[in-house]
Amino acid sequence: METPVKSVILLVDDQDTIRFFLEKTLKQEGYEAVTARTGAEAIEKARAVVPDLVLLDLKLPDMDGLEVLRRIKEVFPEIGVVMITAFGDIETAVMAMKNGAYDFVSKPINLEQLLMVIRKGLDSERLNREVLELKRQMDPDVGFDYILGETGAMKRVYDIVQQVAKSDTTTVLIEGESGVGKEMVARLIHRYSNRANKPFMDINCASLPEQLLESELFGYEKGAFTDAKNQKQGLLELANRGSLFLDEIGEMSLTIQVKLLRVLERMEFRRLGGTSDIHVSVRVISATNRDLQREVEEGRFRADLFYRLKVVPLYIPPLRERKEDLLKFVNYFINMFNTKFNKNFNTIADDARHALLSYPWPGNIRELKNVIERVVLLENGPVMKREMLPFATQRSDEGSLGRRIDAILSAPLPQEGVDFEALVGDFERALIVKASEESGWNQSKTARLLNVKRDKLRYRMKSFNIGDETEVETTT
């Protein structure tokens, strides 16, 4: 049986006796209490734990309680704040209510009244979360139609997402090719869990070198290394009580894997240069387009971490195995971009439909979305035709490249010269496309096949407008 998650209350008061008494009372009532003595400490604690409710004294030694209220509300507008005021200080309490406070109680504190205000404040916070969730569900850019479709495999994914979201502690490993929607599934797990109103933090493990990735995840203390001028919270702290999405987990170094394993086992870690443990509650959702089982067998990924991450495995099949969903996605994106660009596409010509269904879609849903976006933006409707689709003419263009090169090399160069830049560019583009197809559109593998740095490959792909623009930024 799962233990219910306790509501977290941040108690801010500079009087030790009041702080000690209220902390003890709150814990006896079944809440998790976090305390702060000053305004600066309160703001730091609010960022670290993301409380469900704040009890905030108006008079603090370093800053006015109204300023603390303002700064907390700037970052977390949904959190309820109950002000603690001196007896008779009604005018300031009213000002606090105008600035976003939920309610106020006066000193000396009536404990029964305070507990009633806390219960109402938490109920209000839960209601706000439900309203936000309804708004998310109505967002046309995010939905199960976009990610899952109607195939049996995707319905199973949907069922697992729903079940996993109910369990607060389970780690999830999402596997699948680039562009199938792994990050979107991770966000759905977060959205439908009881962590939905807490942070969702994400990072691509393939996009950063080892040292930078380590500092981003764990944070660092001032002076931990040459450029550490100030203390920095890592994503694990920022995601506390929420979810952390580790994209391309297979690219993570063995050194960081050891540290991540400790986090998953104990829910604690140390900042770089730190000496004390930091405790967190984070759901870790990871994703990969690699075969992690093979990575384990070949010694590039820790077996203990692999099995710890793969408590619940989720495999998202590529779009070429979901052709019955493809036209549904096409229509979805046409409607989306018709609205965005004020266009009127409403029909897909038969030859365009055939081209869409026969193309292998190496970039999966992400590539499909970008293709439809380009067509709707650059072409005129109402009919989407085959010649409007960039991939439909791409292969024949590449096939003629060899003949053009042969014709030039087998005879004297023409007096008017040749278009050197265009010819070399066409060859470079064709080579990048071929390497990308052979690597499954994984940029790291493509760069290795071409013996170029990934940054250069990313730049050239963007220059040639190859495949999917977002693919050059991430490999989800």
Which of 337, 367, 388 terminates a domain? The answer is 388
Instruction: Confirm whether 473 is domain-assigned.
Output: yes
Instruction: Confirm whether 95 is domain-assigned.
Output: yes
CATH number of the domain enclosing 451:
1.10.10
One domain for residues 400 and 368: no
Q: Determine the straight-line distance between the first and last CA of the chain, rounded to whole angstroms.
A: 34
Pairing of strands 232-233, 219-220: antiparallel
Which of 317, 336, 368 terminates a domain? The answer is 317
Q: How many CB atoms lie within 10 A of CB 246?
A: 24
Tokens read off for 308: 């710890």
* Contact present, 92 and 69 (Cβ < 8 Å): no
User: Helices H, strands E: what count in the chain?
Assistant: 20, 16
Phi, psi of 390, rounded to the nearest 5 degrees: -60, -35
One domain for residues 361 and 252: no
CATH number of the domain enclosing 40:
3.40.50.2300
CA separation for the pair 47, 198 (Å, rounded)? 11
Tokens read off for 68: 């603390």
Which bin fits 276, alpha (ψ -120 to 50), beta or left (φ > 0)? Answer: beta
One domain for residues 161 and 302: yes
Instruction: Confirm whether 259 is domain-assigned.
Output: yes
Which of 266, 291, 317 terminates a domain? The answer is 317
One domain for residues 218 and 82: no
Give residue 401's pLDDT.
57
Give residue 127's pLDDT.
65
CA separation for the pair 81, 103 (Å, rounded)? 7
CA separation for the pair 166, 472 (Å, rounded)? 34
One domain for residues 176 and 293: yes
Instruction: Confirm whether 222 is domain-assigned.
Output: yes
pLDDT digits (tens, 9 = 90+) for 193-235: 878 888 899 999 988 888 889 999 998 888 878 777 788 889 9
* Contact present, 266 and 247 (Cβ < 8 Å): no
Contacts of 413 (CB under 8 A, 6+ apart): none
CA separation for the pair 171, 422 (Å, rounded)? 50
CA separation for the pair 83, 89 (Å, rounded)? 11
One domain for residues 29 and 150: no
Instruction: Confirm whether 140 is domain-assigned.
Output: no
One domain for residues 44 and 93: yes
Residue written as tokens 């229509």? Answer: 331
> Of 452, 412, 416, 413, which Cα lies nearest the Cα of 436?
452
* Contact present, 476 and 179 (Cβ < 8 Å): yes
CA separation for the pair 40, 418 (Å, rounded)? 68
pLDDT digits (tens, 9 = 90+) for 13-39: 999 999 999 999 999 998 989 999 999
* Contact present, 141 and 335 (Cβ < 8 Å): no
Length of the chain measured in residues: 476
At residue 288, the 3 state secondary structure works out as: strand
Helix or strand run (H / E) with residue 267: none
* Contact present, 168 and 283 (Cβ < 8 Å): yes
One domain for residues 206 and 335: no
Q: Taken in order 74, 75, 81, 84, is the CA torsion positive or negative?
A: negative
Instruction: Confirm whether 232 is domain-assigned.
Output: yes
Number of domains in the chain: 4
DSSP string, 159-218: HHHHHHHH-SS--EEEE--TTSSHHHHHHHHHHTSTTTTS-EEEEETTSS-HHHHHHHHH
Sequential pLDDT tens for the chain (476 residues): 333 457 889 999 999 999 999 999 999 998 989 999 999 899 888 876 778 899 999 889 988 888 899 888 876 777 889 998 876 667 777 788 888 888 888 888 888 889 999 988 888 776 665 555 444 444 444 444 444 556 667 777 877 887 888 776 678 999 998 888 888 889 888 888 878 888 899 999 988 888 889 999 998 888 878 777 788 889 999 998 899 999 999 999 999 999 999 999 988 999 988 888 898 889 999 999 888 999 999 999 999 999 999 988 889 888 888 887 888 888 888 988 888 888 989 899 998 998 898 888 888 888 888 889 889 988 888 999 988 888 775 554 455 555 566 566 656 677 767 777 777 877 888 788 878 877 777 888 888 888 888 878 887 887 777 754 333 333 33
One domain for residues 332 and 412: no
Instruction: Confirm whether 439 is domain-assigned.
Output: yes
CA angle 237, 241, 243 (to 5 degrees): 80
CATH number of the domain enclosing 204:
3.40.50.300
Kindly report the pTM of this predicted structure. Answer: 0.56
CA separation for the pair 7, 80 (Å, rounded)? 12
Pairing of strands 268-269, 278-279: antiparallel
Contacts of 80 (CB under 8 A, 6+ apart): 52, 53, 54, 102, 121, 122, 124, 125
One domain for residues 194 and 335: no
pLDDT digits (tens, 9 = 90+) for 232-291: 889 999 998 899 999 999 999 999 999 999 999 988 999 988 888 898 889 999 999 888
DSSP string, 73-122: HHH-TTSEEEEEE-TT-HHHHHHHHHTT--EEEESSP-HHHHHHHHHHHH
- Residue 134, CB half-sphere, CA atoms under 13 Å: how many? 6
CATH number of the domain enclosing 372:
1.10.8.60
Give residue 99's pLDDT.
82
One domain for residues 304 and 156: yes
One domain for residues 166 and 27: no
Instruction: Confirm whether 1 is domain-assigned.
Output: no
Residue span of the structural domain in which 414 resides = 390-476
Pairing of strands 172-175, 283-288: parallel
